[in-house]
Amino acid sequence: MFERLKSLLKKQSRSGGVIFSGTRQAQWMRRRYKEFAEEGYRRNVVAYMAINKVSRAAAAIPLTLFRGNKEIVDHPLLRLLQRPNPMQSGSEYMQALVGFFLISGNAYIERTMVNGVPRELYTLRPDRMKVVPGPMGLPRGYTYTVGQDSVSWDSDPMTGESDIRHLRAFNPLDDWYGMSPIEAGAFAVDQHNESMQWMQALLQNGAAPSGALEYTKEGQLGDDEYARLKAEIDEQYSGSRNAGRPLLLEGGMTWRQMGFSPDQMAALESRYASARDIALAFGVSPLLLNIPGDSTYSNYREARLALYEETVLPLMDSVCDELNAWLAPAFGDRLRIGMDVDSIPAIAEKRREMWAMADRSQDLTINERREIKGYEAISGGDEVLVPANLLPLGEPLDVPSGPDEIDSALGPGDLKAIAYGDGK
């Protein structure tokens, strides 16, 4: 009977048990978070601005709370989201959460429970968190390590319920960790960093040797001389840090210029191209980052609207879905966390234009117009109303052509009413 009960409670996915094979030990991320943070955030101004622009835009959107279709303006869950912990405000907390997610592809939320109700929320650094795989394809727990100290949280291997919520981006090659946007734009980040370093060295050294050394004396260089010369060139004249350093030649050697000049290489344009690729990886228009070159949008207003519609709002929708599945049920049924999209200036302007277009439309009912504006339907609002002076196209107009026809169409009383302004 016990075995039968276990079979009923067993997870139905047949692939869950083979997602992880081997020992059930904690698994680190395959790519190092510190490299992403150092090279893609601290050392790259384009990625830095793109991450900050998305995270600040996401943190500035007010969160709302609904029970069914009724909005709640005062609730412990809403107060928790507005002040997650004593050290952070709601916007600061959300900016850190989204920032961690964009840098590593992973974000972790810890909830502190008091009498079965969440009282505080914390963001945890992704590089310090390890996932402990479970037997059925869900985590068995999480381990957070700082130096020599560690703390662990259990997770139900059947339902995934835990005091830790793992937000992760889609990763086609990893079962436990998400994929960072910096990883997709790694080549562009490296190219941009190297080009900046190359240009800095070029400005400092003031020359640009790039070509071949020719030995003009009779005979050949000895092995020792060749090895010494090669090591000297590799150490002192190769790489972006040594770009532009003057080359000191010994007797019998000449320098043949073979490389392109900075103008020919279009070094500046290549830097802009890599910057546009970095912005593309984070879903931010180059126009918003002041990157010269081609732009998909004709003006700043369109680019700003696209940032919200294509990047910020879908990301915040995912965050709200995670909170609704993990946090809201602890405060009661039918609670739903959402966003006050109307408070976003870029979205509000577009909606005002859409409302004005709906008001001018002559083929919408009153209730259809109210629905576009977010209002409830009213009684008698399902009829299409048109101006009274409109006539069907092609309908012949019966207009009196002279005084005799006017007299015949109007009686004496009608003429008197018109003359004295009775309004008939």
pLDDT in tens, 149-186: 999 999 998 888 999 999 999 999 888 999 999 999 88
Q: What is this structure's pTM?
A: 0.72
Rounded Cα distance between 202 and 197, Å, is 8
Looking at residue 194, what is its pLDDT? 82
- Cα→Cα distances 411→317, 401, 420, Å: 70, 17, 15
Using a 10 angstrom Cβ sphere, with 0-12 exposed, 13-18 middle and 19 or more buried, the burial of residue 113 is exposed
Rounded Cα distance between 228 and 233, Å, is 9
The SS3 of residue 88 is strand
Please check whether residues 314 and 260 belong to one and the same domain.
no
Please check whether residues 160 and 234 belong to one and the same domain.
no
- How far, rounded to the nearest angstrom, does the alpha carbon of residue 421 sit from its chain's CA centroid? 67
Domain-located, residue 117 = yes
Q: What is the pLDDT of residues 216-265, one digit of tens each?
A: 565 566 667 667 777 776 666 666 566 656 665 565 566 656 555 555 55
Domain-located, residue 291 = yes
Rounded Cα distance between 40 and 366, Å, is 52
Rounded Cα distance between 202 and 196, Å, is 10
Rounded Cα distance between 313 and 90, Å, is 17
- Closest to 130 (Cα-Cα) out of 117, 141, 116, 120: 141
Please check whether residues 349 and 208 belong to one and the same domain.
no
Domain-located, residue 367 = yes
Please check whether residues 99 and 165 belong to one and the same domain.
yes
Task: Give residue 88's domain range.
Answer: 16-200+283-340
Alpha helices in 105-250 (DSSP H): 181-184, 186-205, 223-236
Please check whether residues 146 and 174 belong to one and the same domain.
yes
Other C-beta atoms closer than 10 Å to the C-beta of 278 total: 30
**Are residues 243 and 208 in contact, defined by beta-carbon separation less than 8 angstroms?**
yes
| Residues in CB range of 327: below 8 A, 6 or more apart | 77, 111, 118, 121, 165, 337
**Are residues 273 and 293 in contact, defined by beta-carbon separation less than 8 angstroms?**
yes
Domains identified in the chain, total number: 3
Domain-located, residue 379 = yes
Please check whether residues 207 and 294 belong to one and the same domain.
no
Please check whether residues 35 and 184 belong to one and the same domain.
yes
**Are residues 153 and 59 in contact, defined by beta-carbon separation less than 8 angstroms?**
no
Domain-located, residue 274 = no
Please check whether residues 241 and 306 belong to one and the same domain.
no
- How far, rounded to the nearest angstrom, does the alpha carbon of residue 262 sit from its chain's CA centroid? 35
Please check whether residues 246 and 368 belong to one and the same domain.
no
Domain-located, residue 289 = yes
Looking at residue 424, what is its pLDDT? 47
Looking at residue 51, what is its pLDDT? 96
Tokens of residue 76, six digits? 């412990």
Which residues of the chain carry a pLDDT beneath 70?
1-31, 202-223, 225-226, 233-268, 294-298, 388-424
Please check whether residues 195 and 211 belong to one and the same domain.
no
Looking at residue 360, what is its pLDDT? 77
Looking at residue 21, what is its pLDDT? 47
Please check whether residues 63 and 88 belong to one and the same domain.
yes
Q: State the amino acid at position 19 in one-letter form.
A: I
Please check whether residues 223 and 159 belong to one and the same domain.
no
DSSP state of 126: G
